[in-house]
Chains A and B, each alone.
Chain A
Amino acid sequence: MLLAIIPVVPLIGALILFLKRDNGFINIPFVTSGAALILSVFALKNVSGGTILYFKFPVNGPFVPSFRADLLSAVFIFLSAFLWLVVSLYSPGYMKHEGRGKVFEISTLFTFASVLGGFLAADLLTLLLFFELMTVSSFFWVIHKWDKEAIKAGYFYLFYSITGGLFIALGIVLKNSGTEMQTAWSIILFVAGFGIKAGMAPLHLWLPHAHSVAPTPGSALLSGLLIKVGAYGLIRVGQLAGWGTNLTMGFPWLGVALIVLGTITMLTGVLAALIQSHAKRLLAYHSISQMGYIILGLGLGLYMGGDGSLGLIGAVYHIVNHALFKVALFLGVGIIYIHTKETDLYKLGGLWRRFPLTAVLMLVAVLGITGAPGLNGYASKTILHHAVSQAAETGQPWMIWVERVFSVVGIGTAASFSKLYYLIFLGKPSNIKEKSAEVKEVKFSSGLHLAMGLLAAVMIGIGIKPELLPGTVIVPAAEKLGMENASLVLNNLFFWNMSDIISMIITLMLGMIVCWAGLKSRIFHWHPPAWITIEGLGRIAFAGISAVWQKAIKCYQTFTVFVQDTAKGLINRTVMAFQSPDKPRGAAGKVRLAGISADAAVLIMAFILLVIWYTLMHLKP
C-alpha cells in the first residue's frame, strides 16, 4: 500500500497547487517532496532486510499498474525525493526571474510522481506507463520559454522520447513471444528505448538541446535524475539477461554492446563538451559523458558475469553521485544566470568577488565531477576504474583500449571543468555585471544557496566516507539483483589507495594543462565540420530524408493526377461512346445501330467475348 501512496503524494501536491489561487507562504513542492522523502525512508527501512514490497490494484484484467520495491528502487526513490527537495528549495527564488512559475511547479510535481512511479514499477508495462507520463510532464520544462529555440528542443525531446516509448512497447511484445531470435531483438529494442532516455551515444541528439533550454531547476532535474530513469531501465533489462550469470548462453553480446556504446558515449560527450561556450550546453554534454560511465559500468557488470559486481556497483554508485554533482552544477550556473542573464562562458569572468559563496559551492561540485580525492566523484570513478582494469586484465586486448579511453575521458572532464570554472569565476573580470547590480547576492538567495549547500554537504560526506553508501545499500542491492559475491568484492576494495589517488591527481593536472593549452590556442572555439559530429551527420541525414520525402510526395501527386485523368478520360469515352455525336442526347433515347460509334462496338465486343469465355470455362463437367 505504501508503494501506491508514494507516487500519489506529488499528485496531491500538484492538485493543491493547481486549485490554489494566491501565492501562499507555503512552498508546496517542498512540503510534498519532504513527505515523499519521509515515505521513502520508510520504504528503505522496509526493504533493507531483503524483503520485497509488492502492491497491485485489486482489479482483474490483462494489465493492472503494479508496484514493487526492492532495495535498488528504494535507493533511487530516496535519491529522487532528496533531489526534488533540494530543487524545490531553489526554484521559488529562481522562477521569479523566469516567470510562469506555477506551470513549472505543477509540471515538476507531475514529473516527480512519474519518476517515483517509474522506479517503483513492478513490470515493464508499468515502467513504460510512468516513462510516458514523465516524457509528457517534463516536456513542459523544455518548452517553458515558448521561443523558437525552446520549441525546437521540445520537438527533439518529444519525438525522441515517443520513439523510445514505442520501441520499448515493441520490445515488451517481442519479449513475451517466445523464440530466441525475437527475445534478442526485444533486448536490442529495450537498449535503444531506454538508451534514448539515458542519452546513449548515437541517440543522444535531443539531450543538449532539451537540457540547455529548460529553466535551470528543470535542467538540473533532467540531467540529474530523468536520464537516470533510462539507466534504471537498462539495469532492469540487465536483469532480464541475468546479472551475475555468465551470459554465454543468453545474450553474450549484450555486455560487449553496452561497453562499446558506453565508451562511445563517454568520448563523444566529453569531446563535444570541450568546444561548447554555452554553460548549460557544456553541462548537458557532460551529462552524456557521465551517462557513458554508467552504461560502461553496466556493460562491464554484464560482460564479466559473476565477477562483474564492481561494474554494477560502480554504475549505481555513479548514478547517485552524478545526480548530486550535476544538480549542484546546474544550480550554480543558474545562480550566475539570474544575476547576469548570461550563459556564454566567454562573456563571464572574475565573478568570485561578487559571488564568493556560489564560487565555493561550485568548486565542490566541479571537484566532485572531475573525481578529485575526498569528494564523491572520486569514489565511484575509482570503482569503475577498478572494474575496467579488472576487465582489461582478464579480457580481450580491446579492453585495453577501453581503459585508455577511460583515462582520456577523465582528463577531458578535468579540462572542461577547469575551463568552466576558470571562465566563470576566475579569469579577467567581465564588464556585464551592471545589468542587475541592484540585486544583492545575499538578499533572497538563501534558498538558492541552501539548496547548493545541502548538496555540497552530502557530496563531501560521501567523499570522506566513500565506503559507507555501498556498504549499506548499494552492495545489498547488487546482491539482490544476482551479484552473489558483491560484498566480498567490496571488502577487498580500499578507496584510499595511494596509486589511485596519485593517478586521479595526475589526471586533474593533465586536465588543467589541456585546459590552459586549449584556451591559449583557442582550440575550444573550433567548430568542427558537419560530417565529423553525430549531430551534423544527423542533420545531413535529415536533409536527405526530407528531400527524398518531398520528391516522393511530388511523385505521389503526379501519380494521383494521372490516375484521376485516366479515369475521367475513360468514363468520358464510355459515355461518349453511347451517344451519337451529331444528335443531342435527349432524342427519345433511341440508339440506332448505325449510330453506334467504334468505341461502343469495341466495348460490346469485349463484353460478348467475356461472356463467351466465362461460359466455355464453366461448360466443362
Chain B
Amino acid sequence: MFNLILALFSGAAGSLTVGLIPESKNRLRKLTVLIFAVSSALFSWMLAIDVFAGENIRIACELGRLTFSLEPDPMGAVFGLIASSLWVFAAVYSFGYMEKKKNKRTYFAFLLLSLTMTLGVAFSGNLVVLYLFYELLTFSTYPLVIHERSSEAVKAGRKYILYSLIGAGAILFATVITYSWSGNLEFVGEPVFKGLLRPGLNGLLLLFIAGFGVKAAVIPLHRWLPAAMVAPTPVSALLHAVAVVYSGVFGILRVVYSVFGHEIVGQLSISNILPWIAAFTILAGIIIATRQDVLKRRLAYQTISHLSYILLGAFTLKSWGLAGAVFHMISYSTLKVALFFCAGIISEKTGETNISRMQGVGRSLPKTMFAFSAAIMGMIGMLPLNTFWGKYYLMKGSVEAGKWPLALVLIGSGIINAICFIPVIVNAFRGEREKVSVERGESSLLMLAPTLVLIIISLIIGLVPGLIWPGVEAVVKGFY
C-alpha cells in the first residue's frame, strides 16, 4: 500500500521540489532528481515483488458511481518496473546531456512529473483512471517535446498534442460505451466483457485500438512520433521509445486482456485481422526507416516497427504470444533507450545527426559505437542479447496460434533491421574524421555510463532469461 503510494507520487513530489530549486543550483537539483527517481524505482521494485508474490494491493475511493482505484496487477507492475527503472538511467544521462543547456528547472520538473503519470497508467485499476493518467501524461510531456522552443519544436509539439488528444477522445468515447454496456470498468478479476458477447464489440475494440494506437504508433496514426524527435535526446529515449509509447501499447494490452478478455476477442471476427495490422506496421515501419537519414528519425521508425512486435504478440491471443509481448516490452526498452543514448552522445560530441555524415565516428567514440552495435545486434534478434527471447516467444506464440506467416514477418523484419543499421555501424568505423571534437570529462562519463550499463544488463538477461522470467510468468498466469 505504502509502496504503491510512494512509488507513484515520488515523481510528483520530486517535480514540485525541483520546481522550487532555483535555476542556478545545479548540484542540489541533480541530487533531488536522483533521490526521487531512485526512490520511485525502489518502491516500484518492492511493490512488484509483492504483486508477483500474489498479494492484492488496492487503493480506491468512490466518487459517485465511479471508482477511483489504483490496483496494480502483474502486467501493471512490469510496466511500472520498466518505466521507473529506466527513469533512473535517463535521469543520470540527462545530467550529462543537459549540462550546457538552458531551462534545466522546467526540464527536470516535467521529466519527474511524467514519471508519476506513466506509473499512474501502469498502476491504474480501471479504465477511467487509466484514461485520466493517459491524458495527463500527454500534457506533462508536452513541455518536454517543445523544450527547444524552436519553430520546428513547437510544430512538432502541436502535432503531438493533436494526435494524442484525438486518440484520447476515441478512448473516452469507447470507455463510455463500455460502461453503458457492462456497468463495470475494473481491470482486476474477470475481464469486463466476460460472458457478454454482443454485436458491436468488434467496433468497440477497433475504437479502443484506434485510440491507444495513436500512442502505440500503429502505422496510419504514427506521424507524431518521428516529428517529436526534436525533443532533447533523453526525452526521445525515455518517452518516445519507452514510456509514452508504452502507455499506448499497455492500453491495448489492457483492453484486449482485461476489458475484453482473450476468449471474447478470440470470438470476434476482427481478431483475425488484428495481427496482420501489427505485422503490416512491423514491416512498413522498418522499411520506412531504411529511407531516413537523420539517425534519430531512423530510430523512431524502428520504434514504430518494434512496438508492433508487442501488439502482434498480444493479438495472437495465446499464452506464448503474451509472454513474448511482455518479454519484448522489457528487453526492447533497455536496448532502445541505449540506442537513443548513443545517438545523443554522437550528436553532442561530434555534432552529427545525419547518418550519411557519420563516417569515422566509431574511431573517435569507440565505446559508444560498441554499445550501438551491440544494441543493433539485439534489434536484429541475435542471441546474446535479450531481444532474441522476445522474438523467440513471439514466434512461438504465432506458431501456437496457427498463424506461422507472422513468424516469417518477424524474421523478415530482423533481416531488414540488419540492412537498415549495419551499414551505419560499418560506416562509422570506416575512414577517419578530420574534425574530432571529442571532449572527455564528467559529462561524457555521465552519458556513457548509463548506456554501457544498459547494454550489460541486456547481455546478462540475454544469457540468463530466467532472471526476468518470473515477472513474465506472473503476467501470463494472471490471464490464462
A14–B20 CA distance with the chains assembled, in angstroms: 52
Interface string of A165-197 (1 = CB under 8 A from B): 111011011101100001000000000000000
Q: Does A133 contact B (CB under 8 A)?
A: yes
Q: Does A253 contact B (CB under 8 A)?
A: no
- Contact assessment for B463 and A65 in the assembled complex, using a CB-CB cutoff below 8 Å: yes
- Contact assessment for A166 and B381 in the assembled complex, using a CB-CB cutoff below 8 Å: yes
A60–B414 CA distance with the chains assembled, in angstroms: 28
Segment of B102-110, B330-338, B395-403, B438-446 engaged in the interface with chain A:
B395-403
Segment of A72-80, A151-159, A526-534 engaged in the interface with chain B:
A151-159
Q: Known: A146-B429, A166-B415. Is A57-B399 also a contact (CB below 8 A)? A: no
- Contact assessment for B465 and A62 in the assembled complex, using a CB-CB cutoff below 8 Å: yes
The residues of A that contact B463 with a CB separation of less than 8 Å are 65, 129
The residues of A that contact B415 with a CB separation of less than 8 Å are 159, 162-163, 166
Interface string of A390-408 (1 = CB under 8 A from B): 0000000000000000000
- Contact assessment for A165 and B383 in the assembled complex, using a CB-CB cutoff below 8 Å: yes
- Contact assessment for A61 and B411 in the assembled complex, using a CB-CB cutoff below 8 Å: no
- Contact assessment for B399 and A174 in the assembled complex, using a CB-CB cutoff below 8 Å: yes
Q: Does A25 contact B (CB under 8 A)?
A: no
The residues of B that contact A271 with a CB separation of less than 8 Å are none
Q: Does A237 contact B (CB under 8 A)?
A: no
Q: Does B469 contact A (CB under 8 A)?
A: yes
- Contact assessment for A63 and B411 in the assembled complex, using a CB-CB cutoff below 8 Å: no
- Contact assessment for B464 and A169 in the assembled complex, using a CB-CB cutoff below 8 Å: no
Quick one: closest B residue to A181, CB to CB? B404
The residues of B that contact A129 with a CB separation of less than 8 Å are 383-384, 463
- Contact assessment for A173 and B392 in the assembled complex, using a CB-CB cutoff below 8 Å: yes
User: Interface on chain A toward B: helix, strand, loop, or mixed SS?
Assistant: helix
Q: Does A1 contact B (CB under 8 A)?
A: no
The residues of B that contact A174 with a CB separation of less than 8 Å are 399, 404
Q: Does B422 contact A (CB under 8 A)?
A: yes
A62–B381 CA distance with the chains assembled, in angstroms: 17
The residues of B that contact A170 with a CB separation of less than 8 Å are 395, 407-408, 411
The residues of B that contact A132 with a CB separation of less than 8 Å are 377, 382-384
- Contact assessment for B464 and A59 in the assembled complex, using a CB-CB cutoff below 8 Å: yes
CB < 8 Å neighbour of B466 from A62, A131, A155: A62
The residues of B that contact A63 with a CB separation of less than 8 Å are 389, 464-466
A341–B384 CA distance with the chains assembled, in angstroms: 39
User: How distant is B392 from chain A, measured CB to nearest CB, in Å?
Assistant: 6
User: How distant is A339 from chain B, measured CB to nearest CB, in Å?
Assistant: 29
Q: Known: A62-B466, A173-B395, A174-B399. Is A158-B384 also a contact (CB below 8 A)? A: no
List A residues 444-501 near B (Cβ within 8 Å): none
The residues of A that contact B380 with a CB separation of less than 8 Å are 162, 166
Interface string of B382-425 (1 = CB under 8 A from A): 11100011011001100110001001100100110011001100
The residues of B that contact A135 with a CB separation of less than 8 Å are 382
Q: Does A439 contact B (CB under 8 A)?
A: no
A64–B467 CA distance with the chains assembled, in angstroms: 10
A159–B411 CA distance with the chains assembled, in angstroms: 12
CB < 8 Å neighbour of A146 from B383, B404, B430, B465: B430
Q: Known: A63-B389, A159-B419. Is A173-B407 also a contact (CB below 8 A)? A: yes
CB < 8 Å neighbour of B291 from A131, A136, A162, A553: A553
The residues of B that contact A116 with a CB separation of less than 8 Å are none
Q: Does B426 contact A (CB under 8 A)?
A: yes
Query: Which of B377, B380, B382, B407 has the most CB atoms of chain A within a 10 A radius of its CB?
Result: B382
CB < 8 Å neighbour of A158 from B381, B422, B429: B422
The size of the chain A interface, using a CB distance under 8 A, is 37
The residues of B that contact A167 with a CB separation of less than 8 Å are 411
A61–B383 CA distance with the chains assembled, in angstroms: 16
The residues of B that contact A146 with a CB separation of less than 8 Å are 429-430
User: How distant is A11 from chain B, measured CB to nearest CB, in Å?
Assistant: 13
- Contact assessment for B389 and A169 in the assembled complex, using a CB-CB cutoff below 8 Å: no
CB < 8 Å neighbour of B388 from A133, A143, A169: A169
User: How distant is A534 from chain B, measured CB to nearest CB, in Å?
Assistant: 20
Q: Does A128 contact B (CB under 8 A)?
A: yes
- Contact assessment for B399 and A155 in the assembled complex, using a CB-CB cutoff below 8 Å: no
The residues of B that contact A57 with a CB separation of less than 8 Å are 464
A131–B383 CA distance with the chains assembled, in angstroms: 9
CB < 8 Å neighbour of B383 from A60, A64, A128: A128
A132–B459 CA distance with the chains assembled, in angstroms: 13
Interface string of B444-480 (1 = CB under 8 A from A): 0000000000000000000111110100000000000
Interface string of A293-307 (1 = CB under 8 A from B): 000000000000000
User: How distant is B158 from chain A, measured CB to nearest CB, in Å?
Assistant: 14
The residues of A that contact B391 with a CB separation of less than 8 Å are 169
The residues of A that contact B469 with a CB separation of less than 8 Å are 60-62
User: How distant is A259 from chain B, measured CB to nearest CB, in Å?
Assistant: 28
Q: Known: A62-B466, A64-B466. Is A151-B407 also a contact (CB below 8 A)? A: no
Q: Known: A132-B384, A146-B430, A159-B419. Is A182-B466 also a contact (CB below 8 A)? A: no
Q: Known: A162-B414, A166-B411, A169-B395. Is A151-B426 also a contact (CB below 8 A)? A: yes
User: How distant is A233 from chain B, measured CB to nearest CB, in Å?
Assistant: 14
The residues of B that contact A163 with a CB separation of less than 8 Å are 415
The residues of B that contact A65 with a CB separation of less than 8 Å are 463
CB < 8 Å neighbour of B422 from A64, A155, A173, A177: A155
The residues of A that contact B407 with a CB separation of less than 8 Å are 170, 173
CB < 8 Å neighbour of B430 from A60, A151, A166, A182: A151
A60–B395 CA distance with the chains assembled, in angstroms: 22
Quick one: closest A residue to B430, CB to CB? A146
- Contact assessment for A136 and B419 in the assembled complex, using a CB-CB cutoff below 8 Å: no
User: How distant is B407 from chain A, measured CB to nearest CB, in Å?
Assistant: 6
A63–B389 CA distance with the chains assembled, in angstroms: 9
List A residues 121-148 near B (Cβ within 8 Å): 125, 128-129, 131-133, 135-136, 143, 146
A448–B240 CA distance with the chains assembled, in angstroms: 56
A281–B377 CA distance with the chains assembled, in angstroms: 29
Quick one: closest B residue to A133, CB to CB? B384
CB < 8 Å neighbour of A60 from B423, B426, B466: B466
A518–B377 CA distance with the chains assembled, in angstroms: 46
User: How distant is A332 from chain B, measured CB to nearest CB, in Å?
Assistant: 31
List B residues 350-397 near A (Cβ within 8 Å): 377, 380-384, 388-389, 391-392, 395-396
- Contact assessment for B429 and A61 in the assembled complex, using a CB-CB cutoff below 8 Å: no
A133–B459 CA distance with the chains assembled, in angstroms: 12
- Contact assessment for B382 and A182 in the assembled complex, using a CB-CB cutoff below 8 Å: no
Interface string of A227-258 (1 = CB under 8 A from B): 00000000000000000000000000000000
Interface string of A29-58 (1 = CB under 8 A from B): 000000000000000000000000000010
- Contact assessment for B467 and A61 in the assembled complex, using a CB-CB cutoff below 8 Å: yes
A176–B292 CA distance with the chains assembled, in angstroms: 39
A64–B395 CA distance with the chains assembled, in angstroms: 19
Quick one: closest A residue to B327, CB to CB? A62
- Contact assessment for A143 and B382 in the assembled complex, using a CB-CB cutoff below 8 Å: no
Quick one: closest A residue to B373, CB to CB? A136
- Contact assessment for A61 and B466 in the assembled complex, using a CB-CB cutoff below 8 Å: yes
A347–B461 CA distance with the chains assembled, in angstroms: 54
User: How distant is A182 from chain B, measured CB to nearest CB, in Å?
Assistant: 7
CB < 8 Å neighbour of B426 from A133, A155, A176, A182: A155
The residues of A that contact B377 with a CB separation of less than 8 Å are 132, 136
The residues of A that contact B383 with a CB separation of less than 8 Å are 125, 128-129, 131-133, 165
Could you list 12 further interchain pairs (A-B, Cβ under 8 angstroms) beyond the known A59-B466, A151-B430?
A: A61-B469, A62-B465, A63-B464, A64-B464, A129-B384, A159-B418, A159-B422, A162-B382, A163-B415, A173-B395, A174-B404, A177-B399
Which B residues are within 8 Å of any A CB, using their own CB? 291, 377, 380-384, 388-389, 391-392, 395-396, 399-400, 404, 407-408, 411, 414-415, 418-419, 422-423, 426, 429-430, 463-467, 469
Which A residues are within 8 Å of any B CB, using their own CB? 57, 59-65, 125, 128-129, 131-133, 135-136, 143, 146, 151, 154-155, 158-159, 162-163, 165-167, 169-170, 172-174, 176-177, 182, 553
13 cross-chain CB contacts under 8 A: A129-B383, A129-B384, A132-B377, A133-B383, A146-B430, A159-B415, A165-B382, A169-B392, A169-B411, A173-B407, A174-B399, A176-B396, A553-B291
